[in-house]
Structure 1
Amino acid sequence: MIAELTAACADLVTDPDLLVSYQRDEADLCDSAPPLAVARPRTTEEVAGLLRVAAAHRIPVVPQGARTGLAGGANASANALVVSLTGMDRILDVDPANRTATVQAGVVNSALREAVREHGLTYPPDPGSWESSTIGGNVATNAGGMCCVKYGVTTEYVLGLTVVLADGEVLRCGRRTAKGVAGYDLARLFVGSEGTLGVITEVTVKLRPQAEPALTLVAEFPSVAKAGEAVSAITAAGLTPSLLELIDRTMLRALEAYRPMGLDTGVQALLLAAADTGPRAQADLEKIAQCCGDAEVYVATDAAEADALLTARRNAHPALEHLAATTFGDGGAVVVDDVAVPRSRLADLVEGVERIGERTGVIVATVGHAGDGNLHPNIIIDRTDPASLAAGRRAFDDIMALGLELGGTVTGEHGVGLLKRDWLERELGPVGLRVHHAIKAALDPHGILNPGKVIAPAVDSPA
């Protein structure tokens, strides 16, 4: 079997010391194990050869990008073949006239942005890991980011895909035209499928003209409810900020402890808003400020100050890791949650999360994309303490239940993976789950593609 895999892809890793580094992504509370082997292909043809061998021997296949995911979707198991796509890092085509780019799955998000910048274009999706995560991984999880409020998530930019199916056949779906409605939208089916339906090897994306220079404001609120009211007012006024982020008191204090910026850590909530409308940005921010009521509002005076505020928001994850380490030492860990609710229920979500933290006795710091109702309650735990782990799991489950109760979804952008599989079943209901199983069975009849992720195998499934 190893010989056949090596014949399909010469770069095959079986060294146990190296296999450990491909064991898991960034999610906590998810099982993983060193895989059987790791293949590092550079072409679609090599991926197809690997899948043909895997299908013949019923080897589980786990596709991986940069392993920056936060739901365990890239976690390996002891009998699995990991197909690492980071070596497929070529930008195949940039077409300024049609505003498209075609890239291999391993191209890093920031590398694509840099490549199209010289043409006056940009690729808007900006997950927090944009400097290291790959386009293939972004597509597989339908990644979002801070600019989603204005520019949307990954699926809105995917025009076409090359996908290797479970039996090794190569499917090319989607199109390069600006319009097209022929047949089922297979490209969108694979977006967000987390490697459970096929292995994405190439992506054609839509590009946009670069935005005009942006300015940023910070609004400090005496309560989360007031911040929520401001978000609703901004939306009702028809304003479209390029960024609208909410930071709660615990998160704000963590940011200041990590990289001090002089923000007031005594406030209950903070909104960070940006307008990328060039000479109109100042006026647009003034309109947003008017929606913030009696909040203390500070407007960045230039692009450098605006960039500093944006950098502070991007420091959220390292700030939380710092908080976990200072609280629990080497055992400190961050469980990053990801729920989305209707914007009108945003304040209810944040206040509910605060109560969950108090009830379970765990630290929960909330930050997220207020503009589209997608927040990230971050749970701080001690991995070495069973009681802390149990409390963290209770808090996680309670937050999931709260999100659904408020009419929301269990994941806005991080995906399901292993972490939220059971909760997805609750959200889908029996009919939705049955349709998911039917699609999975049609495209992966032997259940070898990323088994156990997103949905549990059906009762009668070979997996």
Structure 2
Amino acid sequence: MSRTLIEKLGEGLPSGAILTDPDITASYAHDMASFCAAGTPAVVALPRTVEQVQHVMRTATALRVPVVPQGARTGLSGAANAGDGCVVLSLTKMDRILEINPVDRIAVVEPGVVNATLSRAVAEHGLYYPPDPSSWETCTIGGNIGTASGGLCCVKYGVTAEYVLGLDVVLADGRLLTTGRRTAKGVAGYDLTRLFVGSEGSLGVVVKATLALKPEPRQQLVLAAEFASTAAACDAVCEIMRGGHVPSLLELMDRTTVRAVNELAHMGLPETTEALLLAAFDTPEPAADLAAVGALCEAAGATQVVPAEDAAESELLLQARRLSLTALEAVKGTTMIDDVCVNRSRLGEFIEGVARIAQDLGLSIGVVAHAGDGNTHPTVCFDAADEDEAKRARESFERIMALGLELGGTITGEHGVGLLKKDWLAKEAGPVSLELQQGIKAVFDPLGILNPGKVF
């Protein structure tokens, strides 16, 4: 089968677009979810054109071979992990920005365009593409669409789904589907575009995206507030939102995370604090907004409030936040990163619950959160070579997921289901929803060859 598969792929792909060396293909086997199983791909395909993607899918359909679409493999749920004998379809070579239109405020891009590359390109036109995952320097737009990713600015500007206007998608049988629109408005037919956003490559392969842009915002200023408890920090978050403030960023780092960042980068963050809250504004008068929010933080019990004086100080604080997950991984070498989102009003309950779970199981669990929208990332730090500790890490993950649902939250705010949370999707969605979702999958992928074993 492998020989036939490779021969058939070669009929429509140049030789450099087909990788078969096991040492090379192994490097495409998994994303960054270190606790998820990965198989051995039969081949890695690196198409550069829509027609080449169509050829891969037609070949896979004819031979009944599973296909795993991939971007930069920065995902954290195992959604891009290979299965044994599959074709890994890497879209990273399709990396052209096809159009930037300042009048219509849209960009048209291929899926392999890196998020930061697009952001910098549109900035040259005075425009802004808001979704900014922590991995924005390496993650691709196609991957962002696949997982419906978010980022630090979501509290004000929203998530990826709100910026995808239309898509070109290669279906499992190789047909090309165009969804959505280029216009600012459009309600013709079912919203198939939103259906593909967050589908994790299980319904089709995105080969082009039309994205909405915004005018470039003003330079933001950041404030850091220290708290003696995470509960007090979460109270401050509630008061900020209750007061009608619209920060461009509202992020929380717990004590474990602050210490990990200091250990990694020697940034001199205050290790005596139990929670560090970062708030930013890109308004016409950011200093005034920071002062108002600083007063709310002090009223909620902040022990110290320090507003940045300029863009350089602001960027230093943001860099500390962006380093959080990398720093936590360095604590013990392996992390299991959760992605539970709860209502802001229950954020304090959730984080306190995670702390109890860590204490009960004798684990180090750092929590970073997009506090402005309640999206938390409890990160379990453990030694994968220690069988007992790894077992406790898995137990903590399950208990954290259960806690999130108990508080009325969701199992994933932006990382997706992938392999990591398949069982929990069934618990959150319920049997009727799951049945309908599986029915939709069957319509788009009747043979079940697109990213099988993921999501459901």
- In the superposition, the TM-score normalised over structure 2's length comes to 0.97
Kindly provide the CA deviation profile for residues 270-317 of structure 1, in whole angstroms up to 9, marking residues without a partner as x: 100100114x00011111112211312110011111111011111112
Output the CA distance in 2 between the equivalents of 1:129 and 1:71: 14
Match for residue 320 of structure 1? Answer: 328
Q: Secondary structure at the match of 1:145?
A: coil
Matched, 1:302 2:302: no
Match for residue 424 of structure 2? Answer: 423
Output the CA distance in 2 between the equivalents of 1:202 and 1:123: 16
Output the CA distance in 2 between the equivalents of 1:289 and 1:39: 52
Match for residue 259 of structure 1? Answer: 265
Kindly provide the CA deviation profile for residues 398-424 of structure 1, in whole angstroms up to 9, marking residues without a partner as x: 000000000000001011100011111
Q: How far apart are 1:8 and its partner, in Å?
A: 2.2
Please list, as runs of the form range in 1=range in 2, the aligned pairs for 1:1-16 lying within 5 A after superposition.
Answer: 1-10=5-14, 11-16=17-22
Match for residue 436 of structure 1? Answer: 437
Paired residues of 1:121 and 1:207 also in contact (CA < 8 A)? yes
Please list, as runs of the form range in 1=range in 2, the aligned pairs for 1:144-163 lying within 5 A after superposition.
Answer: 144-163=150-169
Paired residues of 1:243 and 1:273 also in contact (CA < 8 A)? yes
Correspondence for 1:66 among 65, 72, 75 = 72
Paired residues of 1:149 and 1:241 also in contact (CA < 8 A)? yes
Matched, 1:198 2:204: yes
Correspondence for 1:233 among 239, 243, 247 = 239
Kindly provide the CA deviation profile for residues 68-94 of structure 1, in whole angstroms up to 9, marking residues without a partner as x: 000000000111000000000011111
1:8 is aligned with what amino acid?
G
Match for residue 39 of structure 2? Answer: 33
Match for residue 450 of structure 1? Answer: 451
2:424 is aligned with what amino acid?
W
Match for residue 62 of structure 2? Answer: 56
Please list, as runs of the form range in 1=range in 2, the aligned pairs for 1:72-87 lying within 5 A after superposition.
Answer: 72-87=78-93
Paired residues of 1:22 and 1:34 also in contact (CA < 8 A)? no
1:230 is aligned with what amino acid?
A
Match for residue 107 of structure 1? Answer: 113
Output the CA distance in 2 between the equivalents of 1:268 and 1:320: 16
Correspondence for 1:281 among 280, 286, 301 = 286
Match for residue 407 of structure 1? Answer: 408
2:278 is aligned with what amino acid?
L
Kindly provide the CA deviation profile for residues 327-356 of structure 1, in whole angstroms up to 9, marking residues without a partner as x: xxxxx2011111000000000011000000
1:289 is aligned with what amino acid?
G
Please list, as runs of the form range in 1=range in 2, the aligned pairs for 1:115-154 lying within 5 A after superposition.
Answer: 115-154=121-160
2:287 is aligned with what amino acid?
Q
Match for residue 26 of structure 2? Answer: 20
Kindly provide the CA deviation profile for residues 196-240 of structure 1, in whole angstroms up to 9, marking residues without a partner as x: 000011111001111101111011111111111111101110101
Output the CA distance in 2 between the equivalents of 1:416 and 1:158: 20
Please list, as runs of the form range in 1=range in 2, the aligned pairs for 1:358-397 lying within 5 A after superposition.
Answer: 358-397=359-398
Match for residue 460 of structure 1? Answer: none
Q: Secondary structure at the match of 2:430?
A: helix
Q: How far apart are 1:322 and its partner, in Å?
A: 2.1
Match for residue 341 of structure 1? Answer: 342
Q: Structure 2 regions of 5+ residues with no counterpart? A: none
2:96 is aligned with what amino acid?
R
Output the CA distance in 1 between the equivalents of 2:268 and 2:142: 38
Paired residues of 1:96 and 1:119 also in contact (CA < 8 A)? yes
Q: How far apart are 1:364 and its partner, in Å?
A: 0.2
Matched, 1:220 2:221: no
Kindly provide the CA deviation profile for residues 228-257 of structure 1, in whole angstroms up to 9, marking residues without a partner as x: 111110111010100000111111111111
Q: Secondary structure at the match of 1:378?
A: strand
Correspondence for 2:99 among 93, 101, 110 = 93
Farther off after superposition, 140-149 or 289-298: 289-298
Q: How far apart are 1:24 and its partner, in Å?
A: 0.2
Output the CA distance in 2 between the equivalents of 1:142 and 1:407: 21
Q: How far apart are 1:260 and its partner, in Å?
A: 2.5
Output the CA distance in 2 between the equivalents of 1:261 and 1:55: 52
Q: How far apart are 1:263 and its partner, in Å?
A: 2.2
Output the CA distance in 2 between the equivalents of 1:7 and 1:281: 58
Q: How far apart are 1:17 and its partner, in Å?
A: 1.1
Following superposition, which runs of at least 4 residues in structure 1 exceed 6 angstroms of deviation? none
Farther off after superposition, 293-302 or 370-379: 293-302
Paired residues of 1:231 and 1:370 also in contact (CA < 8 A)? yes
Q: How far apart are 1:155 and its partner, in Å?
A: 0.4
Kindly provide the CA deviation profile for residues 101-121 of structure 1, in whole angstroms up to 9, marking residues without a partner as x: 000000000111111111000
Q: Secondary structure at the match of 2:11?
A: helix
Identity of aligned residues (%): 56
Output the CA distance in 2 between the equivalents of 1:242 and 1:59: 45
2:162 is aligned with what amino acid?
E
Output the CA distance in 2 between the equivalents of 1:77 and 1:158: 29
Q: How far apart are 1:264 and its partner, in Å?
A: 1.7
Match for residue 45 of structure 1? Answer: 51
Output the CA distance in 1 between the equivalents of 2:340 and 2:354: 11
Output the CA distance in 2 between the equivalents of 1:253 and 1:110: 28
